[in-house]
Amino acid sequence: DGGITQSPKYLFRKEGQNVTLSCEQNLNHDAMYWYRQDPGQGLRLIYYSQIVNDFQKGDIAEGYSVSREKKESFPLTVTSAQKNPTAFYLCASRHVRTGELFFGEGSRLTVL
Amino acid sequence: DAKTTQPPSMDCAEGRAANLPCNHSTISGNEYVYWYRQIHSQGPQYIIHGLKNNETNEMASLIITEDRKSSTLILPHATLRDTAVYYCIVLSIQGAQKLVFGQGTRLTINP
């Protein structure tokens, strides 16, 4: 079935380590997004991408990096520069005709 | 900043209609209103969207005011499984956009 797959679902890292969250979609969507969610809060936009090899910063891009080398993939790297990385991370892609957003199940990152 | 405002929380009795309001006074002519809901620790789920006419599907109805500055999502017969955070966002159909979500409305369905 078509959809968005995020991995890993749970991830633990030590302070000072970089970690990469995977987001893969087989929906043939051009636009992809990364959001961060803290407990009891809404979704905050980290980065988004319209096409391959192009991406834009969202509201909270500091301490994060992304790449878009393939249409299907939009990995997010949480760098050691991110001061408070413990959060729930959501990836989404967007249907070009209807505009509907499709979300993955999320990755929960905990920094020890 | 989000282009929508919603009440932070609402309660509704099971079996009754839940009416969730959303204000989007700066909506542009080519922007649609979309509703999503998020059940705890899951990715948000699409519910419905509309431009200016009222819309209905198997999950909900969407009522958009004539001036398009506000809308209401209606869950006609709320069940306990409808307890979730509901997000209203506005966006145009095409093009890359900085899709910003507000805080949403935490809807609690009470037995």
Question: Rounded to whole angstroms, how far apart are CA atoms B31 and B69?
Answer: 11
| Residue A2 · residue A101 · CB < 8 Å | no
Q: What is the mean pLDDT of chain B?
A: 92
Contact B96 A50 (CB under 8 A): yes
Share of chain A above pLDDT 70, in %: 98
Predicted confidence (pLDDT) at residue A57 exceeds the cutoff of 90: yes
Separation CA A2–CA A21 (nearest Å): 20
Residue with tokens 């159909």: B93
A78: which strand partners?
Answer: A19, A64
pLDDT for residue B100: 83
For the segment A29-42, what is each residue's pLDDT rounded down to a tens digit? Answer: 999 999 999 988 88
C-alpha gyration radius of chain B: 13
- CA–CA dist A83, A62 (Å, integer): 9
A42's tokens: 């809404």
Mean pLDDT of B1-26: 93
d(CA A97, CA B89): 17
Contacts of residue B44 in chain A, CB cutoff 8 Å?
43, 90, 101, 103
Whole-number pLDDT of residue B109: 97
Of B43, B85, B87, the CB nearest to A105: B43
Q: Is A52 on the interface with B (CB under 8 A)?
A: no
Both tokens assigned to B73: 């999502």
Query: Closest partner residue to B96 among A48, A102, A104, by Cβ?
Result: A48
Q: Which of B33, B93, B103 to mutate to test the interface with A (most CBs of A within 10 A)?
A: B93
- How much is the pLDDT for B82? 97
Contact criterion met (CB below 8 Å) for A45 and A33: yes
Cα maximum dimension of chain A: 42
